[in-house]
Structure 1
Amino acid sequence: MVSGEGSGYNVFEKDCNGDVLCTWTYPSLTTQQRDLAARKCRFDGLDTHFLYGQFRSLWYYININEAPDATKLPKVRQFSICIWTSEFNPDKFEALSKIMGRKYNSTGEQVSVMEIYLAATAGGQISDPGFSFCSQDFPKSLSHESTNLKEIISNFGLESIIIYTAVLLKKRIVVYHHDMSTLLKAIRSIPAFVSHRDPSNTLFPCIDLHKDEILNLKSYASYVAGCRDANVTSSDLFDVFVHLPAREISIASNARESMAMTRTHKEIAFFLVQLSQNESLSEQQLVTAVSAKTNDLLEQLRNLATTTTSEGKSVVTLESLRQNSFPHAMENFLFNLAVAEDIMML
């Protein structure tokens, strides 16, 4: 289990009067962490009991619980467990936060929750009767059992090539949906378009249009961010905007030239749609097929890397691009792809 600076957890409680307080913090978290967790712990009007996101290179995982036993928690109606860690693994921390919540409900004691947390973070497992947990049951790699790329392609059809290209070129992507669970599923699925990269550093599953979160997001050159606030459409936070309920994708004016479509894009778009229509393909098989198509494209790019730097790295140059007499849109796309893959000599 990964721990480190900024790691720990909060407990927030909503009492019988409707007041919400942070009642426990371990070991110590910043004021910004506490304030962000308080904003995210929406006890009313949230369609899911588990959510997660990233802020300042730390992941937070929030599990919201009812408090049905008045004998154990007589003044509490609801409470939330918010775990902070540097590790991206939603499945693992959903399981751990659920166990911590069950422990609090069954004992009503904050110390017993801390013991569960320490057992998981120090030893990677919990052997408390009725509260089984083993960190090794949750591999760090992105599980395609938790993605639904096929549904995204099916919903957007040929236009899904825009999302694919935006991820490939490391653009700023913002996804909107009012339903948190739908939004989280989409944000986790979109990076599977380009599975040869680790998406965890640039995923922001549920941002609010709050100053701290906007400033944090703007410190990144590229990302996939989710938002439940429809006002995000009028912001300057995206190159590509995905409106999930309306099944619409828009490209910001500043990104249109680099996102210009070519014959290659058209071929990949039809390929994606054909994959999504194949009912016999599993999610894993679809992601593998998309990855193979992307590798073919990257191999074409690597063949243009005919110059070697002093460090022995093969790179693409403007001269090598122009020598091939590509159409302008294709040359522009390959240039931007080489920049995204960090093999372009600038």
Structure 2
Amino acid sequence: MSAGPNNLLAASLVEKDKNGDTLWTWTYPSVDEGLRELLLRKTCLAEKDSNEIVPFSFGHFGRMWYYVLTVAAGDSEPLAQVTHFTVIVHAKDFNPEKYQHLASILAETYRTTGNAARLLENYLSVVTRGVCSGVGDIEDFAVKSYDVRKAYIASSIKDVIQQLGIEAILVYTALLLKKRVAVYHPDIQQLLNIVRALPTLVWHRQNWSIVYPHVHLVEDELEDLASTSSYVAGFTDSSVESHANLYDVFVNVAGGAITVAPHAKEAFGMGKIHKDIATRMVQCSEDEDMTDQAMIKEIALKTKDLINNLKSLAVEDEETGEPVVTPDALRGRKLTPAMENFLYHLASAEGLVKF
């Protein structure tokens, strides 16, 4: 696939007919066979005997985000032989609300006309002009109407912390140290909301490329995960817990448990700093008057103080003149072994360690 302006890569259409068969009907400009197989797996139409419809989901594979909108054909005369169909929008950027809006226009256009050429008109209008006309009750679409920062905070981190409680500090620490976090929840909609909210805990990075919202335990997706050393990955398959090679921290939201993998425990020694941040996170989550944005800011300030204190421990590198944190510098501060170890891992994550 070749990238066009506005971060769009492609659009695709999948149909399920009255015989229960799922067909890849249309794509523009193109999708290779391997990616097509993955995306079919992500549609709720792929399971022949399943009647469960997931209206909207999204995911991340390689350098592509995909947004999957499924609707019922209803009484559409042009789609008389179709029960449901899925519009998939492929893009380079993370912004679920933006692409749900666009996919909704494409879907309603197809439902009312049954003509894929009309989808292409709308798609090309966005590629060339950044806008396309709405359909029925759906408003006009404009790329410029969507600020990615709103997408970052669209899911409630307060709700997530309320669910995880004091142990949320383990997730915060994992993200801060650029570790691998696996999140399990059987409900895909709840899973997506939780996973997309977690990077707000390390707001100073504003990096949502670490998010893999819904991963299947299949070879191509696990290879994609293995290609990066730090991520937040979501799973609806509970057997992921037995795959300890996939994570440093495992979050079972439904079971209310967070587990640090044995191989990662060295980096998760807790100290007074962790206790203070954990307590404040829970207090914020329970404060009915505090907004999500205010909570994100509160955690970000705690993180900023932590990193600034870490930088104060740095010494000047003899070769480059750059500030670096060394084991000797940390030992000189007479910290507890757990805190010394944590700070060195944090220094590494923040690029303050010379390798």
Question: For this structure pair, what is the TM-score category when the shorter chain's length is used for normalisation?
Answer: over 0.9
> 151, 158, 169: which is aligned to 1:161?
169
Partner secondary structure for residue 117 of structure 1? helix
Q: How far does residue 47 in structure 1 lie from its aligned partner after superposition?
A: 5.7
The 3 A distance-change label for structure 1 pair 53 and 257 is same
% identity of equivalent residues: 36
What does residue 265 of structure 2 align with? 256
- Sort the Cα spacing of 1:145 and 1:202 in 2 relative to 1 into closer, same or farther, 3 A: closer
Q: Does 1:194 align with 2:194?
A: no
Cα offsets for 1:230-274 (capped at 9, x unmatched): 111111211100001111101100011101111111111111111
- Check conservation: 1:184, 1:205, Cα contact below 8 A: yes
Distance 2:70 2:51 in 1: 12
2:183 alignment partner AA: V
Q: CA deviation at 1:144?
A: 5.5
**Aligned partners of 2:108 and 2:135 also within 8 Å:** no
1:57 matched to 2:35? The reply is no
Which runs of 5 or more structure 2 residues have no equivalent in the other structure?
none
The answer to whether the 8 A contact 1:12-1:20 is kept is yes
Which range is displaced more, 336-345 or 301-310? Answer: 301-310
1:150 maps to: 158
Q: 1:124, 1:268 → 2: CA distance?
A: 43
TM-score (norm 2): 0.93
In structure 2, relative to structure 1, the CA distance for the partners of 1:222 and 1:144 (3 Å cut) is closer
- Secondary structure of the structure 2 residue equivalent to 1:209: coil
What does 1:4-15 align with in structure 2 at a 5 Å threshold?
A: 7-15=9-17
| 1: CA distance, partners of 2:219 / 2:268 | 29
Aligned-partner Cα distance in 2 for 1:73–1:127: 22
Structure 1 residue runs without a partner (length 5+): none
CA distance in 2, matches of 1:211, 1:299: 41
Aligned mates of 1:4, 1:279 — CA distance in 2: 38
Q: Distance in 2 between matches of 1:309 and 1:139?
A: 43
Residue in 2 aligned with 1:219? 227
- Between Structure 1 and Structure 2, how many residues are aligned? 346
- For 1:297-343, what per-residue CA distance to the aligned partner results, in whole angstroms no more than 9, with x for missing partners? 01111111221465553221222212211111000000000111111
Matches within 5 A, 1:1-346: 3=5, 7-43=9-45, 44-46=50-52, 48-127=54-133, 130=136, 132-143=140-151, 145-235=153-243, 236-308=245-317, 310-311=319-320, 313-346=322-355
Contact 2:315 2:324 in 1 (8 A): yes
Instruction: State whether residues 105 and 134 of structure 2, in contact with CA within 8 Å, keep that contact through their aligned partners in structure 1.
Output: no
Q: CA deviation at 1:142?
A: 4.8
CA deviation profile, 1:167-204 (whole Å, cap 9, x unmatched): 11111000001101100000011111111113222110
Q: 1:21 to 1:309 in 2, by over 3 A?
A: farther
Q: Which moved more, 1:188-197 or 1:143-152?
A: 143-152
Local SS of the residue matching 2:213:
strand
Give the Cα–Cα distance (whole angstroms) in 2 for the partners of residues 208 and 89 of structure 1: 21
Preserved CA contact (<8 Å) 1:69 1:105: no
Q: Name the CA distance, whole Å, in 2 between partners of 1:51 and 1:199.
A: 20
SS at match of 1:226: strand
Distance across 2 between alignment mates of 1:182 and 1:121: 32
Residue 103 of structure 1 and its aligned partner are, at CA, apart by 0.6
Could you say if the C-alpha distance between residues 255 and 2 of structure 1 is closer, same or farther in structure 2, counting changes exceeding 3 Å?
farther
Distance in 1, matches of 2:149 and 2:283, equals: 27
Give the letter aligned to residue 85 of structure 1: A
> If the length of structure 1 is used for normalisation, what is the TM-score?
0.95
CA pair 323-10 structure 1, distance change in 2 beyond 3 A: same
- For the Cα contact (< 8 Å) 1:3–1:86, is it kept in 2? no
**Following the alignment from structure 1 to structure 2, what is the Cα–Cα distance between the partners of residues 175 and 128?**
36
Secondary structure of 2:12's partner? strand
- Tell me the distance in 2 between the aligned counterparts of 1:181 and 1:291: 27
